[in-house]
Amino acid sequence: MNGLRARELMTPDVVTIPPDLPVAAIARLLTRHGISAVPVVDADGVLLGIVTEADLIRRLASRLDRPPSWLTSLVVNPAVAADCYARTHGFVAQEVMTTHVVTVTLDTPIAEIAALIEQNGIRRVLVMEDGRLRGLVSRADLLRALVAPAVEAADVSDERIRRAVVAAMRREPWAYASHTVVEVRDGVVEFHGFSPSEAVQRGLRVLAEQVPGVKGVADRTQPLPPYLYEAM
């Protein structure tokens, strides 16, 4: 899964709309196709923005907005206020759409896509190539990649697995590699020695499970003695 890129995850046939499509028609389109967002493109296929469910819901919620007080009106930014008003009261796509669209390329790795979605608090990114929309990667696409059956790894020697686990432990400051011995038998990683907490034991298990060729993990560590804590 770690080697997957946008081109392998994306939905290629993305429904798009023109900038002059009415809001009511956008809502019907989202419902009919069972989607939560739709990109806005011009007649030449150039991406202009995206209309999401959140944009339309925000428009509905604006009906409860109250006029700003005279004090608030003294400090309000006219440009920001005007933009907010247009987006919440507009009647066509170009008036309500979000113009700041997070995009990736066909070769953007899955980890980078996940980070962008998390950092920006969004539900999807658009995949672009040479200025043209090629697809869309949503949170649902990332989840499908997460649960997809793993490709059977080629046979890896026990010693190679052991070295990979030890190397991974040394990269993690919490792993306490100097207090833990790693052995591998028939693809099963065994941890011996001492561990300072259940959290570290859980972390070691997850760390080992990510190494190619590992068929199982056996934790045989013991609680870290007080004298070792004092020596740390």
- The DSSP letter of residue 178 is G
- Residue 95 pLDDT more than 60? yes
Instruction: List alpha helices for 66-120, DSSP H.
Output: 70-75, 78-89, 93-96, 110-120
Residue 102 pLDDT: 96
Most confident region among 119-128, 170-179, 208-217 by mean pLDDT: 119-128
As a whole number of angstroms, the distance between CA 48 and CA 89 comes to 19
The DSSP secondary-structure symbol of 40 reads: E
Residue 232 has pLDDT above 90, yes or no: no
Domains of the chain: 6-147 (3.10.580.10), 158-224 (3.30.1340.30)
pTM given for the model: 0.62
**Residue position matching structure tokens 């693809």:** 187
- Angle value at C-alpha 129, between 126 and 131, nearest 5 degrees: 90
Q: Indicate the helix (H) or strand (E) that contains 137.
A: strand 132-138
Mean pLDDT for the stretch of residues 117-124? 93
